[in-house]
Structure 1
C-alpha cells in the first residue's frame, strides 16, 4: 500500500455522515480524519479510503482520483489506505444487484421488487447491516463516486472556510487547486489549514464542482500537480515496478512460520491416512519442520520455510476418502444433457411467445457447449494469521473482507469483533478472491501451532480448490421472417446456479459441497444470468434449466454474461450465413432503437477495416450490451469487437492464431481513460484466453490441469494487435472490467468460421490435428461435417454444424464424445 501521512489528531464528523456508526478512518498525530473517506495531514498529504480490493483494475487510483479532482488536491500528495469493514462503506448498488439472492425471505413480490432499487430503504439497510463491501459486479463507480465527491467537497469547503476566516473574506470566493486554497493573490497549503478546518461544520448540502467531463486521451493538462507526466499516473505503479508492493505472500512479521496444504477432492472428502513412515521419520527429518495440522478435508504441514513445509507435506502422502460420487467429464456432460432434456425451465427474458412460430419449417438450430474454466491468476491464494491477546489479525487479498472475517471467527469460535482483516493487493483475481476458505484454514493453523503463520497454496492446490466458471450447454432456435431478420428466438441454458452457490458460501458460511446442495434444483436470479440478445426480436424467450453436475462452481470474470454472449453472437452469425446475409448488416437491421450499439458496430467496422466476413476472410464480429448495475435505463455498457483469426499450420505449432482484436466501446462518461483502456485491453485478452483455453477436466474428482502451462494460456509471442476506441458519452459511467471479456470469444469463433468454413460451437474452442492440414473449400468442409456427425437427417442444423474432429468429437448437440 502507499503510505499516508504520519501522526494523529482530532476527528471531525461532518453533517453528511450517518450518525449511527462512528467514522471508521483513523487519524495519526499530525492529520485529521474529516469523514469516512478522507483525512488530511499537516504536511498536505491527502489520504483516501478505498473500499475495494486492488487486483490490477486500478481501484487505488480511480477512487483517489475522484476525490482529488473534487477536492483540488495535488496528485503528488495523494495516498490511499484500505477501508476498514464498516457500514460507512456499504455498497447498496451491489446489494440491489444481488437482491435476488438475499431478499427471498421478504416473501411478497411487492417487497421483492422494491429490493431491486439501490436507493430503496430495504437495500440500504441490508447493505449497512451486512457491511456489504465486496468487490464484484463492477458496482464501484455507481456505488461510490458521488459519496467520494460529496466527502471531498465537504473537506474542500472546510479548508476554504478556514482560509476565509484568516483572510476575512467569504469562503465561496476561495478556490481549491493543486493542494492550495487561494483568494486573489493569497494562498495557503491544505496542510496549513487542517487544524482550523477540523473545528468547523460544513454547510448542508456542500457545494459540488460541475460534473466532470468524460476523460479523454491524452489527459495532458500541463499541471505539474498531476505528476511529471501531466496526468493521473497510477498510484500503485512505482511500487509494483520496483518490487516493493506488498502482495499477500510478501507479508513478514516477527516469529512467522509457513504452511503448505493438501486438500481432498471437492466431494465431502475427509483425511483417511498419512504415510506412517513419513509421519514418524522422513517428514520430521526435513530441516525446519514444526508439525502438522488436520482440518475438514485437508492436511497442512508447518515449517520455518515454505520449501520445507511443501517438502514435508509431500512426504506425508496424505490420502483422502470422498463422501460422495467423484465427478468426471462424462458425468458432468450427462448431467447437462439430462437437464436440457428433462429440466423444468424458468424464464430469464421474454418478449411475446416465440414457441408456436418455432414449431414450423425453416427453423435454424444449434447447440453450444462450455467446459468448466478456472481463473488462471498469477498469484495463488495466500494469507497470514497472527493470534495475539485473543484477537486474530488476518492479512490477505480478499474481495469479500466481511465474509473472510466471519469465516475466520467461526473457525476459532470467537466474535467477529475480535478479527481484524488487513487487506493487501491481489496478483490477479478474476473473482477467485471472493472465496474465503483460506481464511478458515490459516486461522485454524495459527491457533494449533501457536505462532503467526503464512499459508500459501501451491499451483496444484489452487486448481484443485478452484470453484470454476460452471460448465453449461445452450440450445438455440431461431426463425427468420419475411423482412430477412429474426422474428422468433428461443435459447435454453442448462447450468448450475453459480451465484446461489457463491451466496451460500459468503453469506451463510457453507462449505462448497453444502452450498452446492443448497442450490440444487435452482437457477440463478435473472439479473445475474446475462443480458438478453441485444436485438429487437419481436418474439424472444430465454430460459434456464438447473443442472446438478456434482462439482461446486463459482464466479469468474465475465460471469453470467460469458455463455449467453458466446452462444447468441455465434448463433446470430450462423443464422446470417444460413440466410445468405452479411453478418454486420444482419445485426444492424435487428437493432431497433439502440443507437449506442449501432455506433459501436459502425466504429469497430471502421477500426478493423471490416471486409464483410465472407468465407476465407478471417474476420469475425460480435457485439453485446450489459445492463447498468444500478438499474439506470440510460446507463449500461456497449461493445462491438472484430477479430482476425485463423488456424496455425502444423509446422508452426498449430492452434488458433489471433492476429488482431478491434473494439469500439461505449461505457458512458469515462472517469479515467488510462484505466478504462487497460481494462478493455486486458478484458479482450482474458476473453481470448477463455476462448482458447483455461478449461479444466475431471478424472476421479481431481482436476487434470495442475499447472498454468496446462491451461493453454496465450503466450506473449502470440499476443494480437489491439485497437480500442471509446464513444464520447455523458451517460452514467459503466465499469469496463468485464464487457471486453464476454465479446472477444464469439468474435474469435466467428472469425475462424470465416477463415476455415468450420463452425466451432464449444468454449474453449477445440482444434484437432486434422484441421491443421489444408482444408477443403468451406462449403465442402461443412457438408463433410454434416455427413460425418449428424445422427439423422431431421436433427441437422441448417448451418451445417461442425467439422469432423479427430479427438475429441463435437456432436451436433454440443456434447463431446471421445
Structure 2
C-alpha cells in the first residue's frame, strides 16, 4: 500500500518481531511500528523509508493541542531530519508507549490505598503499572514529560546508526559525522538518510544513545511579532482544506449509521418504545435495545435520528439529578461536613471561628462541549472487533468493549483517530461500548454519532463546587495574610472517574464506592503561589448523585477563581493596589513576579482604578521548579447583554518552549475557553435532564464576542510545562476582578452574572 501523510495520520500498525523501548527497561514488546515496503524500523518510535520519509509514532490523541507536531518535532530536531519529510503514524496501544508520569500522578485513582508507593514520576511501581496496563492516556498535559525523553533517545540512536553506516563507507570515525537536514555529513561528503536507511537499520545502536548537548527549544519572539517557524504544524494544511480525517469521517464498505437515545441522569432503564412507528421512514436497517439506551441504524444518520423521535423511548429512573438538590447537599457539606486535610504549609491554619475574613465562592458544573460530538465506528466479524475511535485512554476503551461483548481484549483492535476537540471528554468510553454492541447485533459495520443533545445529556461535567476561603490578616493595616484556609465542598469526582476508567464500573457504582473519599486532585491549585506562612487545604466530599468527570483545567478552574478573587478582595479592603499587593506576597517565586510586572506593561495596567474595568489574576500549575505560570489582565464590562470582555493580555512562563506557535495557540485557545467558562458553559439539571440542549443554550462566546488577545512568553531555561490549561483557568478570575473594577460589584459565582447583577 502506498504511504501518504494522510494515510499515516489515519492508520494503525499491527506487526511482529521484538523491539526494546528506550527508557522502559528491562522489558521488550511486540514491534508495533511495522515497516511497510521500502521502510526500515529503527525502534518503536521511528522508521525511515527509501524515499527519505521519516515516520514518527505518536501514542497520544491529537485533539487540537498539536501533539502530532510536537513529538515529531522533538524527533526531527534530535535526528537532524528535514521537517518536510516527516510523517506521523498514530501508535497502537503497547507497553512501549507507557505514560509513566501520568500513571504516577493518577496513582490515587488506580491504587487508592497505597498511592504513595507509586507517586514518583520515574518510580518502578508506576512504571510497572503503566507498562502492564499499556497505559498511554492523553491527559493533564503530561505528553512531553512522558515522551520527550524516549523520543530523543530513539532519534539519537537512529542518528548514530545512520552515521555508522556512512562512516563505514567513508572509512572514517562515525563520531566525526554530523546529521543535518536529512543528510549525514563529513567534511564535503554527504549521504541522504534515504541512501543509508536499509544498511543503518542493521547496526546496533550505542548505549546510551549520544544525545545532543541541549534539548530542542524555540526562543520567544518579542511582542506580537509572528515569524514563520521551522516546524509548522503537520496537520494544518489538511485541516484547512478539509481532508483531515476525524472519527466521524471513517467510511467502511456496507457501513450503516446509528443514532441513539439515553435516559435521564442517572441509572435510567429503558422500559418501552414504539417499535412500529418508523414505518414510512426510508433507509431504516434495524434497532438495538440496550439496558439503558435505544439505538436505530439506517443508511443515513438523519433517518436514524428521525426514527428515534417517532419511537418515543421511555425510561425508569431511580434517581433524577437536580441542581437545586445537589446545591443544597453541597451547601450542607460546606457548612457541616467532615473535612479531609489535603495539604498544608507551616503547620496549617484553622481560624477557630476568629478569621479576619471569610468569603464563599460557588461554581456550577462545567460542560466540555467539544465541536465533534462522540463518534465511533465498529466492525464485528468472526469474534473479532475493530474500532475506529478518538479516545484519550485507548486501552481502557478496548477493555470496556471486550467486556461488553464477552470477548478477549486481544480480539479488540483499536485504530486511533484524531478528535475534533475533547477537553477531556474522550477519557470516557460509553459510546465505544454502545457501538460495539450495535455492530454485534446488526452484523455489519456501523458508525454511531451522538447528537448534540445526547452529548450534553450523556457526557459527565466537571463537578460543581463551593469554596470557603478564610484568612487571618495582620493588624498593620497592609492586608498581610498570615493564615489561609480553603475548604472545598465537592464530590470526589476523580475517585469516581478512576473507578470508571480502571475498574470499568458503572457511574452509580463508582459514586457509591467513592462516597466520603478524600480527593486530592479535586483540590489542585488551592495551595496558593503566594508565600503565606500558614496555609491549609481541606476537602469535604459530598455525594450529589450527578456523575462527574475531568475537564480542561480540572480543579484549577475553580480554585484559581476563588483564590485570585479572594486576594483581590483583600487588597481592595485594605486599600492596596492589586498588582503590588500580589508581588509583595510572592516570596521566592521570581518567575511569577516577572510575569506580573511584564503583563502590567503589556496591558498598560492602571490599578483598576476609576472604573477602568481592568482586572488582574495569576496562577501556577505545577510545582515551583517545573510548573507553568501565567499572569493575565482583562478589560471587561457588564451590560444588558451580559459580560463584554474587550481585551485579554497574558504573560506566560512555560520554561523551555518546544514549539512557539503551538504554545501561543494553546494559550489563546485556553483564554477563549476560560472566557466561555466565565460567561456560561455550565450545566443546570432539572428532573435528570440538562436545561441546555443545544450549543446556543450555553452562552458560549461567538466570534464577535472574542476580545483582542495579546500573549507574550518569558524566556526560560526551566523544564517545559504544558500551556494547554493555563489560559483556561486564569481568565475567569481576571474577568471577575475586571467587572468589580467596572461596576463595584463582586461576583463570587461561576458563571459570572448567572445570578444577575
TM-score (norm 1): 0.88
The count of aligned residue pairs is 743
Structure 2 CA distance for aligned equivalents of residues 531 and 399 of structure 1: 26
Paired residue for 1:634?
A: 625
The alpha carbon displacement at 1:2 in A equals 3.1
Paired residue for 1:446?
A: 439
Paired residue for 1:646?
A: 637
Structure 2 CA distance for aligned equivalents of residues 42 and 315 of structure 1: 57
Conservation of the 8 A alpha-carbon contact between 1:158 and 1:201 = yes
Paired residue for 2:345?
A: 351
Structure 2 CA distance for aligned equivalents of residues 474 and 155 of structure 1: 52
Structure 2 CA distance for aligned equivalents of residues 558 and 601 of structure 1: 21
**2:49 matched to 1:41?**
yes
**2:490 matched to 1:495?**
yes
* Alignment deviations for residues 671-706 of structure 1 (CA, whole Å, 9 cap, x no partner): 110111110111111011001100111110011100
The alpha carbon displacement at 1:217 in A equals 4.5
Structure 2 CA distance for aligned equivalents of residues 366 and 488 of structure 1: 14
Paired residue for 2:119?
A: 116
Paired residue for 2:357?
A: 364
Selected match of 1:76 from 72, 77, 84: 84
Paired residue for 1:59?
A: 67
The alpha carbon displacement at 1:215 in A equals 0.9
The alpha carbon displacement at 1:76 in A equals 0.7
Paired residue for 1:201?
A: 204
3-state secondary structure, aligned to 2:736: helix
Conservation of the 8 A alpha-carbon contact between 1:496 and 1:523 = no
3-state secondary structure, aligned to 2:378: strand
Matches within 5 A, 1:473-492: 473-483=466-476, 484=478, 485-492=480-487
Structure 1 CA distance for aligned equivalents of residues 386 and 16 of structure 2: 26
Structure 2 CA distance for aligned equivalents of residues 70 and 613 of structure 1: 47
Paired residue for 1:516?
A: 511
User: Structure 2 stretches of 5 or more lacking a match?
Assistant: none
Conservation of the 8 A alpha-carbon contact between 1:349 and 1:543 = yes
Paired residue for 1:424?
A: 417
Q: Measured at CA, do residues 463 and 524 of structure 1 come closer, stay the same or move farther in structure 2, by a change above 3 Å?
A: same
Conservation of the 8 A alpha-carbon contact between 1:12 and 1:33 = no
The alpha carbon displacement at 1:11 in A equals 6.8
Paired residue for 2:304?
A: 309
* Alignment deviations for residues 573-631 of structure 1 (CA, whole Å, 9 cap, x no partner): 11111111111111111111111111111111111111011241200011111115xxx
Structure 1 CA distance for aligned equivalents of residues 610 and 464 of structure 2: 31
Structure 2 CA distance for aligned equivalents of residues 398 and 426 of structure 1: 8
Paired residue for 1:239?
A: 238
The alpha carbon displacement at 1:120 in A equals 1.3
3-state secondary structure, aligned to 2:30: coil
3-state secondary structure, aligned to 2:618: strand
Selected match of 1:556 from 551, 566, 569: 551
3-state secondary structure, aligned to 1:2: helix
Conservation of the 8 A alpha-carbon contact between 1:10 and 1:33 = no
Paired residue for 2:580?
A: 585
* Alignment deviations for residues 415-452 of structure 1 (CA, whole Å, 9 cap, x no partner): 00010111111111000111001110000000000000
Paired residue for 1:778?
A: none
The alpha carbon displacement at 1:114 in A equals 3.5
Matches within 5 A, 1:320-469: 320-322=315-317, 324-352=318-346, 355=349, 357=351, 359-360=353-354, 363-469=356-462
Paired residue for 2:31?
A: 23
Q: Measured at CA, do residues 14 and 330 of structure 1 come closer, stay the same or move farther in structure 2, by a change above 3 Å?
A: closer
Paired residue for 2:168?
A: 165
Structure 2 CA distance for aligned equivalents of residues 716 and 159 of structure 1: 49
> How large is the RMSD of aligned CA atoms in angstroms?
2.0
3-state secondary structure, aligned to 2:111: helix
The alpha carbon displacement at 1:482 in A equals 3.7
Q: Measured at CA, do residues 669 and 615 of structure 1 come closer, stay the same or move farther in structure 2, by a change above 3 Å?
A: same
The alpha carbon displacement at 1:273 in A equals 0.9
Paired residue for 2:567?
A: 572
**2:180 matched to 1:177?**
yes
Conservation of the 8 A alpha-carbon contact between 2:631 and 2:651 = yes
Conservation of the 8 A alpha-carbon contact between 1:358 and 1:488 = no
3-state secondary structure, aligned to 2:153: helix
User: Structure 1 stretches of 5 or more lacking a match?
Assistant: 107-111, 220-227, 772-818
Matches within 5 A, 1:147-162: 147-162=150-165
Matches within 5 A, 1:798-817: none
Paired residue for 2:272?
A: 273
Selected match of 1:145 from 148, 153, 159: 148
The alpha carbon displacement at 1:49 in A equals 0.5
**2:655 matched to 1:668?**
yes
Paired residue for 2:728?
A: 741
Conservation of the 8 A alpha-carbon contact between 1:386 and 1:394 = yes
Structure 1 CA distance for aligned equivalents of residues 521 and 438 of structure 2: 40
The alpha carbon displacement at 1:512 in A equals 1.6
The alpha carbon displacement at 1:284 in A equals 3.1
Structure 2 CA distance for aligned equivalents of residues 357 and 657 of structure 1: 38
Structure 1 CA distance for aligned equivalents of residues 702 and 617 of structure 2: 24
Conservation of the 8 A alpha-carbon contact between 1:2 and 1:236 = no
